[in-house]
Structure 1
Amino acid sequence: MPLDSTTIVRQVLQLQADAVARWHVEPIDNPYTGLLSVVCQQHQFNFQLWHEEDIARRTDVTDAQIAQVKRNIDGFNQRRNDWIERIDETLLEMLDARGVAAAPDAPLNTETPGSAIDRLSIMSLRVFHMEEELARPDATEEHLSKVEPKRQRCVLQRADLSNSLGVLLDDIFAGRKQLRVYRQMKMYNDPSLNPELYRSQRRAG
């Protein structure tokens, strides 16, 4: 894939929108290669996380089922963050392959491209589900009047964020900004860093 920010942003947006629609009626798949394959995998974890979060709000299931859903949410969220890092790593590999290096004093951005792509992934899910709500046969006029302004705001936010991502990628590809991968280091998922986990292990031993 060329270092063309316009093409990358367009393809990412198309992938996310297409995948969300497809995965609601077909099994989750990943027919992409290269950077887009990594973006699709990250998007998948947001898709799965979204629907587990919906289940977690139900009141007609058992406590044991909710406990399992919460564990699923934790796992999907960890993998979602892992693959944000993988997007940034892939971009760094692309830069290295093309000999692009930022000056040591080049500034950093407040978020990485991977983080912006993650936010676009979530926004694609919001837009899809807002449109799903608008298409409900039992939707009242009151419901529609609440949902449509929210959908419009989501569409605007997605456009603004995708434009900002394009500018960031332009700067990174031109060496005007640095790209670094920052590890999430979520302590609660590490048995050696979460006191609730290592204390329970000691008590069990």
Structure 2
Amino acid sequence: MSFTEDAWIVFNEAITDYHKTDDVDTPESNPYEKDSLEHILYSKNWIDTVQWHLEDIIRDENISPEEALKIKRRIDSSNQKRTDLVEFLDDFFLEKYKDIVPKKEAIINTESPAWAIDRLSILALKIYHMQIETERISADENHKTKCAQKLFVLKEQKKDLFQAIDRLLLDIENGNNKLKTYKQMKMYNDESLNPVLYQNKKDV
């Protein structure tokens, strides 16, 4: 079984576990051994799944401004955790392939393995929820047909992403691709880099 096939199973396990309660406040109950790759992948998708539903909730037209602000802050925090976990996953690959010496002609990919895996995690959520829309009893047939067409495209994207990620990992193993990562350095969460935050702090 390929890496992406294994990851897909773990992602969908996290999605299924979340939807047992379908509650954004449900604590994560990761079934995998701590520090294992599966543990990282499960946590990654759990964060994505909770955030998916927070993004739904905040778009409720009847939500109060106070509650919307709370959720927006929670989404910001989730985004930071998501980024941190992706970078942690990249560190996992850096450690795994630390003894690989890239060939002289080795190329650098536009994104690291972990950020490609991030897209795969989100894709698992898209497919899960689009599948629901193709079967939703309250939806008309036109809606279901359109969603079925979108689901077909998403599944095609899944096949392509599987192939691209597995190929990237193989190229790294063979020295044909140079594994090089950069920290995201998000500025809006940093009190020393966001002008609004550090100006407010100065004014206090």
Say which SS state the counterpart of residue 2 (structure 2) adopts.
helix
> How big is each residue's C-alpha offset from its partner over 1:164-191, in whole Å with a ceiling of 9 and x where there is no partner?
0011000011111111221000011000
Separation in structure 1 between the aligned mates of residue 104 and residue 76 of structure 2, nearest angstrom = 37
**Which residue of the partner structure matches residue 182 of structure 2?**
182
TM-score by length of 1: 0.91
Contact 1:21 1:128 in 2 (8 A): no
How far apart are 1:32 and its partner, in Å?
2.2
Say which SS state the counterpart of residue 189 (structure 1) adopts.
coil
Which amino acid is 1:186 matched to? K
Which amino acid is 2:64 matched to? T
How far apart are 1:31 and its partner, in Å?
1.7
Separation in structure 2 between the aligned mates of residue 42 and residue 75 of structure 1, nearest angstrom = 14
How far apart are 1:7 and its partner, in Å?
2.6
Paired residues for 1:7-46 under 5 Å: 7-26=2-21, 28-33=28-33, 34-46=36-48
Separation in structure 2 between the aligned mates of residue 136 and residue 182 of structure 1, nearest angstrom = 42
CA RMSD of superposed structures (Å): 1.5
TM-score by length of 2: 0.91
> How big is each residue's C-alpha offset from its partner over 1:9-31, in whole Å with a ceiling of 9 and x where there is no partner?
21001111222122110553222
Say which SS state the counterpart of residue 73 (structure 1) adopts.
helix
**Which residue of the partner structure matches residue 3 of structure 1?**
none
Q: Greater RCO between the two (CA within 8 Å, min separation 6)?
A: 1
Separation in structure 2 between the aligned mates of residue 47 and residue 164 of structure 1, nearest angstrom = 23
**Which residue of the partner structure matches residue 60 of structure 1?**
62
How far apart are 1:104 and its partner, in Å?
5.8
Separation in structure 1 between the aligned mates of residue 2 and residue 167 of structure 2, nearest angstrom = 12
State the identity %: 35
**In 2 relative to 1, CA 80–104 (structure 1 residues): closer, same or farther, beyond 3 Å?**
farther
How far apart are 1:105 and its partner, in Å?
5.2
Spell out structure 1 runs of 4+ moving beyond 2 A.
26-29, 103-106
How far apart are 1:101 and its partner, in Å?
2.6
More helix by share: 1
Structure 1 residue 201 corresponds to structure 2 residue 201: yes
Query: Which residue, 52, 66, 76 being the options, matches 1:74?
Result: 76
Gaps of 5+ in 1: 1-5
Separation in structure 1 between the aligned mates of residue 52 and residue 154 of structure 2, nearest angstrom = 16
In the alignment of these two chains, the number of paired residues is 197
